[in-house]
Amino acid sequence: MKFNDVVERVEKVSSQYCRKFNIERDNDWFLLKIQEELGELVQCYLESAGKARSRGRSLEELKENFQNELVDLLCLTMAMARFNDLELEEAIQEKWLK
């Protein structure tokens, strides 16, 4: 699957979620959700690194939680880019892969 196809599918899920829960998406909402997910990612990292209590979760569960929070952060970033009509694939090529 191509990167832009993933972005479009993520956009569809984000849009449906917000319609279902009557949430108005705007840049403020996206930034706050990204901040929320970043906080959850940090918590998962601290737990998996032994710097916070694991709440009885195994290392595999901690790794899976960390991965899931990283995916949430990535998908919200993609959805925000799509919301703002940005071309992440092109930007990645220019900024990181040039």
CA gap 96, 98 in Å, rounded: 6
CA gap 55, 58 in Å, rounded: 9
* Domains by residue range for the chain, with CATH: 3-95 (1.10.287.1080)
Say what the pLDDT of residue 22 is: 97
3 state DSSP class of 21: coil
3 state DSSP class of 26: coil
pTM as predicted:
0.88
For residue 39, CA distances in Å to 4, 12, 28, 49, 72 come to: 27, 24, 17, 15, 11
CA gap 20, 62 in Å, rounded: 30
Per-residue pLDDT of the chain (98 residues; tens, 9 = 90+): 899 899 999 999 999 999 999 999 999 999 999 999 999 999 999 988 887 777 778 888 988 999 999 999 999 999 999 999 999 999 999 999 98
